[in-house]
Amino acid sequence: MRRLFPLPVPPAPSAPAPGATGEPGPDPAADREWTLDELADAYAYPAADDPVRSGRPGWLRANMVSSLDGAAHHGGRSHPLSGDADMRIFGVLRALADAVVVGAETVRLEGYRPARARAAFAARRAAAGQGPAPAIAVVTAGLGLDFTLPLFTEPLVPTVVLTGAGAPQERVRAACAAGAEVLFAGEGLGVDPARVAEVLAARGHTRLLTEGGPRLLAQFGAAGALDELCLSLAPVVAAGDAQRIMDGPGVAVPERFALVSVLEESGFLFTRYRRT
């Protein structure tokens, strides 16, 4: 992993202070394997009192992978676009989150399972007052989900179902019976994307990570609800007619995001952009 931006590179947080041992610390811009701690430091969420939070109830970060030509999946799966380094960052971003917000179609197509506890992040999560793993929060209007799956029956922390007040009552009952926590973030059938952060923050989930899919992410984007986009650009051409990372309603004026950092490994660019 190499840091391409920002430069000049600040000292790595986990490195010994230069001069302390008479030896310079490891250069975080160098082409070497970064530790999980270094990656976690690099992707830390802004603190609650950080001015970039500007009073918002939580921080909604998205993590998506795209091919060079803009495809968000190949054959209905994102895995063909991904790689080892991408999966490492995917895991770090999960490990930093209180909740992973994901559209029901991604849950169905990608076979979502509960997030797992990872020893490498246990101390960091405990120090941050987080449970052993993030909750998976499934956004759905119809609740056409298989509640007998491990996602609902075996999570370390209860899986959340985010829906609207008009969702089918018997499906809501089935979700609750399976152990899911049902939260309402909309008055109609579906979820109001602008209310998701507030509703999850009320349950103590303020460090939010959305893993899409494109139809859900487009709604967060159009509602001005997205604070940060971690976009992995995969060095592959997929062609075809797959969705891009946002697939849905547009905005009247494209919203400007600021580049925070760029890492590189094996031809992948791991970009991080923040709302301005």
Ligand X SMILES: NC(=O)c1ccc[n+]([C@@H]2O[C@H](COP(=O)([O-])OP(=O)(O)OC[C@H]3O[C@@H](n4cnc5c(N)ncnc54)[C@H](OP(=O)(O)O)[C@@H]3O)[C@@H](O)[C@H]2O)c1
Among residues 159, 206, 219, 271, which is the contact residue for ligand X, using CB under 6 A? Answer: 219
Stretch that binds ligand X, among 6-14, 133-141, 200-208, 254-262 (CB under 6 A): 133-141
Query: Which stretches of 21-118 are DSSP H helices?
Result: 36-42, 84-96, 104-110
For 203-239, letters b (16+ CB in 10 Å) and e give eebbbbbbbbbbbbbbbbbbeebbbbbbbbbbebebe
* C-alpha torsion sign, points 153, 157, 163, 169: positive
Phi, psi of 182 (to 5 degrees): -95, 125
Residue 130 near ligand X by CB under 6 A? no
Q: What is the DSSP letter of 142?
A: S
Q: Which residues pair with 270 in a beta bridge?
A: 232, 263
Residue 106 near ligand X by CB under 6 A? yes
Length of the chain: 276
Of 41 and 110, CB closest to ligand X: 110
Of 114 and 190, CB closest to ligand X: 190
Of 28 and 213, CB closest to ligand X: 213
Residue 223 near ligand X by CB under 6 A? no
Site string for ligand X, 20-39 (x = CB under 6 A): --------------------
Stretch that binds ligand X, among 151-159, 168-176, 213-221, 256-264 (CB under 6 A): 213-221
- Element counts in the chain: helices (H) and strands (E): 8, 10
Closest separation between CB of residue 190 and ligand X, Å?
Answer: 3
Of 144 and 224, CB closest to ligand X: 144
Residue 114 near ligand X by CB under 6 A? no
Closest separation between CB of residue 113 and ligand X, Å?
Answer: 15
Residue 221 near ligand X by CB under 6 A? no
**Which residues, 6 or more positions from 191, have their beta carbon under 8 angstroms from its beta carbon?**
139, 141, 162, 163, 164, 185
Secondary-structure percent of the chain, ordered helix, strand, coil, rounded to 5: 25, 20, 50
With CA atoms as reference, report the closest residue to 99 among 87, 85, 114.
Answer: 114
Closest separation between CB of residue 49 and ligand X, Å?
Answer: 30
Among residues 144, 166, 235, 250, which is the contact residue for ligand X, using CB under 6 A? Answer: 144
The residues of the shown chain that bind ligand X, judged by CB under 6 A, are: 64-65, 72-73, 76-78, 103-106, 109-110, 139-142, 144, 190-191, 193, 211-216, 219, 243, 245, 247
